[in-house]
């Protein structure tokens, strides 16, 4: 495709060089440039892509898209100056790949919590309904059965267009994708044509990036502002910012709620460690997902499926059979009925959510044993807080390692220990070896006790000093359960 063709409908400030130059590759990163590449210079949070224009040219770039023309342009290279190269990147990527987002039903999910759960449930539901489906999520990207590792919650828009193109080649009719607030601000969804958008909820998070809560809300709202009139905007109106998301959107305004009148109204009839019993659209259904927050995810998924034209009864039937997404309140139960729960809760807010849910569901004589750690080379402020939350809701707590990375695991654990209230010293153990921590918890548990293994969720590694060692909480729990059964772990 020529640069001229790529720039169809793109507002341009200036150009230099041959507009018939042929482009066969788009990239934001000078390190990936080769002959035929269009290098898009974007101002980032760490550095400015414009400083790599010369490198890109030396590596053979055919064209450069930038906001500022270089002082000494190379005559053999085509330069295009635009107002906003991050935004323009989206328009160009869509043209380069032939607008794949217009050729399938692309539904985006945004919110502080529940994006992965909602997108994954939609992916599984539509597969169960007989469609070929794509998924773009934090845990993984997927095209039907083919798993593609994910680097971001929402990839850059060139990668997304490439993924959508592959999905179309595989016959996909739907793609469900997570839309992070970072992605909205950085124009990673520019030029994508959505068939629908879902808002789960918003709580204080990512303020390191957005600065203020208002900016964070505005970022989420930016997604709904972008939806076309043909799309639906489906929001959780039990969240007080739900209605804010709908202001100014051109899309059809739809809502879901457990508390008030809404397009999709649900009622939570029962909530236990075995699942949820809900009434939706006058029908009573059991679901295998656990916790009130999943009742919201179910309603959002149900609403989106109905808005996409699916038969409500068939949707409920298929939804009732779905298991939780990987590492999201995932249960591993021993033959002795010790309940292991593996959850990705790696922030104070998520840990509190998941422990409150478990606390609300257990019987009086069932203990909660929590295993928790905090990552190295990441926010240290949360370490004592997470230990304190674990103590507040648990009968026993084991502090352990969770991706210590380049830090000394014991130093991280000492910072966690600082958050343990003195009254809880007796119920808290510190075991840096995560496997040993899980085995110890299993050896301490009685039938029906609940072991929460928090933090890693779907992850299958433990990162120590730059090396990712195989480690899967679910697998280690299963092994520990088997060892207890065969008597190879001491029981007190």
Ligand X SMILES: CC(=O)N[C@H]1[C@@H](OP(=O)(O)OP(=O)(O)OC[C@H]2O[C@@H](n3ccc(=O)[nH]c3=O)[C@H](O)[C@@H]2O)O[C@H](CO)[C@@H](O)[C@@H]1O[C@H](C)C(=O)N[C@@H](C)C(=O)N[C@H](CCC(=O)O)C(=O)O
Nearest alpha-carbon partner for 331 in 479, 477, 483, 115: 477
Q: Is 89 in the site for ligand ATP (CB under 6 A)?
A: no
Among 256, 296, 302, 481, binds ligand ATP (CB under 6 A): 296
CA distance 457 to 344: 4
Q: Which is nearer to ligand ATP, 195 or 350 (CB)?
A: 350
3-state percent breakdown (helix, strand, coil) of the chain, nearest 5: 35, 25, 40
Q: Which of these, 26, 35, 34, lies nearest to 7 by C-alpha position?
A: 26
- Alpha-carbon distance of 457 to 227, in angstroms, equals 32
- Residue in 122, 104, 200 with CA at minimum distance from that of residue 160: 104
- Structure token pair of residue 232: 């639906």
Choosing among ligand ATP, ligand X, none, which partner's interface includes residue 318 (Cβ < 5 to 8 Å by kind)?
none
- Angle ∠(475,481,482) on CA atoms, nearest 5: 90
190 binds ligand X (CB under 6 A): no
The residue assigned the tokens 């926010």 is 379
Assess 37 for contact with ligand X (CB under 6 A): no
Residue 123 binding target from ligand X, ligand ATP, none, CB below 5 to 8 Å by type: none
Long-range contacts of 321-324 (CB under 8 A, 24+ apart): 321/128, 321/288, 322/121, 322/124, 322/125, 322/128, 322/287, 322/288, 322/289, 323/288, 323/289, 324/117, 324/288, 324/289, 324/290, 324/294
Q: At 283, which helix (H) or strand (E)? A: strand 283-287
* Least distance (Å) between residue 177 CB and ligand X: 10
Residue 427 CB contacts under 8 Å (≥ 6 apart), including other chains: 391, 394, 395, 396, 397
Give the one entry of ligand X, ligand ATP, none that residue 116 binds, where binding means its C-beta sits below a cut-off of 5 to 8 angstroms depending on kind. Answer: ligand ATP
- Please choose, from the candidates 30, 87, 80, the residue with its C-alpha nearest in 3D space to the C-alpha of residue 57: 30
300 near ligand X, judged by CB under 6 A: no
- Residue of minimal CB distance from ligand X? 44
Consult the annotation and say whether 111 binds a ligand: yes
Q: Does 37 bind ligand ATP (CB under 6 A)?
A: no
Task: Select from 186, 201, 236, 353 the one that contacts ligand X (CB under 6 A).
Answer: 186
Which string of x and - marks every residue 216-255 that binds ligand X (by CB under 6 A)? ----------------------------------------
Q: Does 293 bind ligand ATP (CB under 6 A)?
A: yes
Q: For the beta carbon of residue 259, count every other beta carbon within 10 angstroms.
A: 11
> Is residue 257 a contact point for ligand ATP (CB under 6 A)?
no
Stretch that binds ligand X, among 150-158, 276-284, 352-360, 379-387 (CB under 6 A): 150-158
Q: What is the dihedral of CA 471, 477, 480, 485, to 10 degrees?
A: -150
Q: Is 114 annotated as a binding residue?
A: yes
Which of 133, 251, 354, 399 touches ligand ATP by CB under 6 A?
Answer: 354
Q: Among 28, 316, 369, 398, indicate the residue that binds ligand X (CB under 6 A).
A: 28
Find out whether 487 is annotated in a ligand binding site. no
Q: Name residues contacting ligand X, limited to 41-80 (CB under 6 A).
A: 42, 44-47, 49, 52
User: Residue 343 interacts with ligand ATP (CB under 6 A)?
Assistant: yes
To the question of whether residue 115 is assigned a binding role by annotation, the answer is: yes
Q: Quick one: what does residue 31 bind among ligand ATP, ligand X, none, with the CB cut-off 5 to 8 Å set by partner type?
A: ligand X
Nearer to ligand ATP, 200 or 401 (CB): 200
Check if the beta carbon of residue 357 is closer than 8 Å to that of residue 386. no
> What pairs with residue 79 in β-bridges?
16, 64
Residues that bind ligand ATP (CB under 6 A): 111, 113-117, 138, 153, 178, 200-201, 293, 296-297, 328-329, 343-345, 350, 353-354
Residues that bind ligand X (CB under 6 A): 28-31, 42, 44-47, 49, 52, 152-154, 156, 180, 182-183, 186, 188
Residues making up the annotated binding site are 28, 30, 111-117, 153-154, 180, 186, 188, 378, 402-405, 455, 459
């Amino acid at each position: 495709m020529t640069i001229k063709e790529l720039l169809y409908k793109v507002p341009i400030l200036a150009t230099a060089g041959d507009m018939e130059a042929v482009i066969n590759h788009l990239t934001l990163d000078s390190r990936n440039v080769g002959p035929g590449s269009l290098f898009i210079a974007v101002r980032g949070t760490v550095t400015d892509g414009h400083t790599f224009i010369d490198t890109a040219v030396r590596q053979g770039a055919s064209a450069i898209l930038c906001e500022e023309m270089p002082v000494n342009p190379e005559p053999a290279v085509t330069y295009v100056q635009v107002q906003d190269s991050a935004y323009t990147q989206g328009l160009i990527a869509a043209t380069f790949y032939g607008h794949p987002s217009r050729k399938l039903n692309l539904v985006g999910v945004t919110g502080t919590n529940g994006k992965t759960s909602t997108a994954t449930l939609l992916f599984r539901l539509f597969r169960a309904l007989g469609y070929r489906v794509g998924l773009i999520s934090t845990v993984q990207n997927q095209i039907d059965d083919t798993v593609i590792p994910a680097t971001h919650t929402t990839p850059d828009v060139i990668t997304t267009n490439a993924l959508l193109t592959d999905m179309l080649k595989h016959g996909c009719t739907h793609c469900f994708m997570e839309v992070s607030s970072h992605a909205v601000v950085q124009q990673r969804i520019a030029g994508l044509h959505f068939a629908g958008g879902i808002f789960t909820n918003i709580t204080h998070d990512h303020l390191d990036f957005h600065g203020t809560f208002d900016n964070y809300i505005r970022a989420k709202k930016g997604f709904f502002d972008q939806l076309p009139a043909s799309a639906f905007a489906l929001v959780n109106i039990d969240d007080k910012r739900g209605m804010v998301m709908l202001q100014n959107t051109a899309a059809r305004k739809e809502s879901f709620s457990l508390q008030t009148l809404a397009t999709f109204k649900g009622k939570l009839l029962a909530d236990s460690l075995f699942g949820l019993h809900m009434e939706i659209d006058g029908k009573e259904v059991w679901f295998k997902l656990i916790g009130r927050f999943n009742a919201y995810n179910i309603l959002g998924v149900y609403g989106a499926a109905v808005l996409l034209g699916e038969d409500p009864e068939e949707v409920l039937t298929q939804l009732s059979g779905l298991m939780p997404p990987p590492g999201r309140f995932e249960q591993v139960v021993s033959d002795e009925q010790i309940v292991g729960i593996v959850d990705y809760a790696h922030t104070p807010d998520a840990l509190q959510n998941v422990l409150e849910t478990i606390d609300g569901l257990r019987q009086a004589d069932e203990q909660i044993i929590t295993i928790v750690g905090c990552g190295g080379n990441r926010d240290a402020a949360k370490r004592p807080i997470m230990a304190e939350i674990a103590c507040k809701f648990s009968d026993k707590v084991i502090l352990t390692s969770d991706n210590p990375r380049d830090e000394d695991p014991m130093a991280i654990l000492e910072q966690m220990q600082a958050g343990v209230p003195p009254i809880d010293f007796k119920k808290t153990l510190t075991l840096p070896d995560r496997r040993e921590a899980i085995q110890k918890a299993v050896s301490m548990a009685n039938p029906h006790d609940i072991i929460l293994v928090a933090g890693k969720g779907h992850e299958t590694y433990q990162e120590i000093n730059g090396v990712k060692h195989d480690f899967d909480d679910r697998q280690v729990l299963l092994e520990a359960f088997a060892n207890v059964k065969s008597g190879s772990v001491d029981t007190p």
